[in-house]
Structure 1
Amino acid sequence: MPATHSNRIGYAISLGLLAALGPLCIDLYLPALPALAADLHTPTATAQLSLTAGLLGLGAGQLIFGPLSDKTGRLRPLTLSLILLFIASVGCALAQTIDQLLLARLFEGLAGAGGAVLSRAIARDMYSGHDLTRFFAMLMLVNGLAPIAAPVMGGALMAFLDWRGLFMTLALIALLLLAMARLKLHETLPAARRSQGSLLSAWAALGKVVTHRPFMGFCLTQGFMMSGMFAYIGASPFVLQQIYGLSPQAFSFCFALNGLGLVIASQTSARLCPLWGEYRVLKGGLTLAFIASGTLVLTGLSGAALPLVLTALFFSVASNGVISVTAASLAMQSQGKRAGSASAVIGVTMFTLGAISVPVTGLGGTSVLTMTLTIFGCYLLAIVMFLLLAQKPQTV
């Protein structure tokens, strides 16, 4: 069990890289979406479904790998997910039609879910309370670099590779992370603490998790916030490149800047939690989300210039950094005995809601207004879930 500061940082880096698989699967090929649509002779809205398919896979995969890890331990499901990610990414690169790509993207998402769900479960195995919040913030620091680095990497690679080459890059990343996991990580869930009975009983634990009101309050709060984030991720390549005329490289820079705001916000919230508590910091993050996304809608309604849109987007994205750390920590603290299942519910909620929000931005054609209204609506639903369900949880 890593207890020293250096070991904690090492584990945060390792788990952060695994948790970054989800963002990498989503963000790396974002600059290539317009080129992908043209190459496969498919409309913009249909090309965006490749993002939706990945998000659905990321959500469904949580329900597979989370409960499975409560039963078998963390490392074996992690190994399986990374092998599957390699195979699915190669399948994406070889796809000749949009239907083939969507199927491969679904399996790529399923595989990418393993890193996300198991990184949270392993963290909960090791830490609790403010220590867990601080560790989640360290995870966010590493994981938050993925949305920054992935589109920048994708934009840079597009100078040498087409969109198929980006998916082959994901396959290579899967192999490298598989080697890292086998060399650096150890089993954090001993046999004595694993779920007893059949695999069906492990999945049955999901019912106990979803009926725990405080947990679901924080879970849905984070889920709707992230659905707004995914709406931004899905719509921004088209809004910023096709409407505002940014190049793939300029778009990648703007996307990276917003990702930096996400990281700064997450680290700031972790430092505030020991002083104010996770619950109060979460409320502050939701307040920021409401103000920033409301301002974003005003820019869409008024046809504001690009700098104003980007400023509102920056703070809208940054608010997710506050909420991701605090809501996830509060939710996971309430489910210590069912960490894998709890992590699965958090993941499937985020990615399922995200899969719904992405195509909403394309209704009637992707525009600044549809993107901003979708983000605001998702954030507003997050606030409603917090007010209706969330309360300071008790550890179980």
Structure 2
Amino acid sequence: MGAMMAIGPLSTDMYLPALPVLSHELGATMSQTQITLTATLLGMALGPLLIGPLSDARGRRGPLLIGMSCYVVLSLLCLIAHSIGLLIVLRFAQGFAASAGIVIALAIARDLYAGRALARCVSLLMMVNFLAPIVAPVLGGLLLSFTSWRGVFVSLALFGIALVLVVAFGLSETLPPARRQDGGFSASLAEFRFLLFNGRFVGCALSLGFTFTAIFVYIASSPFIFENIYGLSPQSTSLVFGVIALGIPITAQLNARLLTRISAQELLIWGASAIALGSIALIAAVITGVGLIGVLPSCFLIVTSVGLITPNATALALSKARAAGSASALLGVLQIGLAVVVAPLIGLAGSKSALPMAATIAGSGLATLLTVVVLSRSGKGN
């Protein structure tokens, strides 16, 4: 299940070091090349809308096997792409297929666990999911030392094959026929409607969306900010990224332990308070011009808070669902959708000032806290 959660960040981050070479070989501009990343994220956002309800109606193993098999084929097709336009289309389809692993892994967790046990399971899954973006660019860089960017897609195809084998021979069905959803697409629409009018679910989903937006803006903007404004070398920037990112799996592991005596809702409030505090500190550091001595600790606090927010908000949201696949799908759409809309706007502001990045992260962090506070007051019945 952890490997299925990791397929998303591996698909998006492993080939990041190859973007300049890929751009040159396919005769594309950097902005066109970056669209291949956006297309993958868009596929991951839209895929769950089909795959989640399908898994509620047909069980988990069948849709998962189909999704992972398609992922393998599409990874191999990316390998032989001869134009940037074709690669963009294939990357969208690859992200769509990859979403099967993410959405069904969370649905399986909901099938097997409830309450604090569910929150602990999701916390451990997220720890694997958070480690993947740290490891993926390093693996991509190592691959490029003896192969081309096409070799990255060979590695992704091999990873997909491994998942197909594990699911086929090592994963039993977790949703028996008696618990499956009847009624087809109309039943899925009814479930989406139920969830969108459930205050607790919407609060959790939006808190995840605002948090992911803050982190996505940080990832997309900070390399330019660190290097162009604060004078760090690319190597130093990579080191800073790695150190800051390590806070997430550490916090996720701590969260799993704390759940034995502290509720998921209380830990969610702690995480939301941390991201809001870090966001305020970041924009203050940028406005006052104190430099990296103020910026880096603020970024660390913002990123580290994800280890508390994501697993607890996800577990609380899934606990309100009648159909775990549909709920997981809606969470993915709201989470990734906000970031896909907001992040390109930061690029339009340019990289000569850190203020657009800091202001967007601050807005997202405060929105996370506000959403969680409203959520905590909505009561258990909402």
How high is the TM-score relative to the length of structure 1? Answer: 0.88
Q: Partner of 1:116 in structure 2?
A: 102
- For residue 86 of structure 1, report the CA deviation from its aligned partner: 1.6
Q: Partner of 2:370 in structure 1?
A: 384
Separation of aligned partners in 2, 1:42 and 1:375: 30
Separation of aligned partners in 1, 2:311 and 2:146: 36
The alignment of Structure 1 onto Structure 2 pairs a total of residues equal to 380
Q: Partner of 2:125 in structure 1?
A: 139
Q: Which deviates the most, 165-174 or 324-333?
A: 165-174
1:360 matched to 2:360: no
Q: Note closer, same or farther for the CA distance 1:35–1:126 as it changes in structure 2 (3 Å cut).
A: same
1:351 matched to 2:336: yes
Q: Note closer, same or farther for the CA distance 1:358–1:100 as it changes in structure 2 (3 Å cut).
A: farther
Q: Note closer, same or farther for the CA distance 1:334–1:305 as it changes in structure 2 (3 Å cut).
A: same
Is residue 152–residue 253 contact of structure 1 (8 Å, CA) maintained in 2? no
Is residue 276–residue 368 contact of structure 2 (8 Å, CA) maintained in 1? no
Is residue 331–residue 393 contact of structure 1 (8 Å, CA) maintained in 2? no
1:246 matched to 2:233: yes
Is residue 45–residue 359 contact of structure 1 (8 Å, CA) maintained in 2? no
Separation of aligned partners in 1, 2:2 and 2:222: 25
Separation of aligned partners in 1, 2:359 and 2:27: 29
Separation of aligned partners in 2, 1:146 and 1:287: 25
Q: Note closer, same or farther for the CA distance 1:373–1:96 as it changes in structure 2 (3 Å cut).
A: farther
* Runs of 5+ consecutive residues of structure 2 not aligned to the other structure: none
Q: What secondary structure sits across from 2:347 in the alignment? A: coil
Alignment map for 1:223-242 (pairs within 5 Å): 223-240=209-226
- For residue 78 of structure 1, report the CA deviation from its aligned partner: 0.6
Q: What secondary structure sits across from 2:174 in the alignment? A: coil
Is residue 90–residue 167 contact of structure 1 (8 Å, CA) maintained in 2? yes
Q: Percent identity?
A: 37
Q: Note closer, same or farther for the CA distance 1:320–1:174 as it changes in structure 2 (3 Å cut).
A: same
Q: What secondary structure sits across from 1:139 in the alignment? A: helix
Is residue 228–residue 379 contact of structure 1 (8 Å, CA) maintained in 2? yes
Q: 2:59 aligns with which of 63, 67, 73?
A: 73
Q: Note closer, same or farther for the CA distance 1:35–1:237 as it changes in structure 2 (3 Å cut).
A: farther
- For residue 371 of structure 1, report the CA deviation from its aligned partner: 2.9
Q: Note closer, same or farther for the CA distance 1:47–1:314 as it changes in structure 2 (3 Å cut).
A: farther
* Runs of 5+ consecutive residues of structure 1 not aligned to the other structure: 1-14
Q: Which deviates the most, 84-93 or 297-306?
A: 297-306
Q: Which deviates the most, 188-197 or 309-318?
A: 309-318
Q: Partner of 1:48 in structure 2?
A: 34
Q: How large is the RMSD of aligned CA atoms in angstroms?
A: 2.4
Separation of aligned partners in 2, 1:201 and 1:130: 29
Is residue 218–residue 327 contact of structure 1 (8 Å, CA) maintained in 2? yes
Q: Which deviates the most, 191-200 or 115-124?
A: 191-200
- For residue 344 of structure 1, report the CA deviation from its aligned partner: 0.7
Is residue 127–residue 307 contact of structure 2 (8 Å, CA) maintained in 1? no
Q: Partner of 1:64 in structure 2?
A: 50
Separation of aligned partners in 1, 2:378 and 2:5: 26
Separation of aligned partners in 1, 2:377 and 2:165: 41
Q: Which deviates the most, 180-189 or 252-261?
A: 252-261
Q: Which amino acid aligns with 1:111?
A: A
Q: 1:340 aligns with which of 325, 328, 341?
A: 325
Q: Partner of 1:170 in structure 2?
A: 156
Is residue 208–residue 335 contact of structure 2 (8 Å, CA) maintained in 1? yes
Q: Partner of 1:204 in structure 2?
A: 190
Q: Which amino acid aligns with 2:171?
A: L
Q: What secondary structure sits across from 1:365 in the alignment? A: coil
Is residue 218–residue 386 contact of structure 1 (8 Å, CA) maintained in 2? yes
Q: Which amino acid aligns with 1:349?
A: L
Q: Partner of 1:216 in structure 2?
A: 202
Q: What secondary structure sits across from 1:168 in the alignment? A: helix
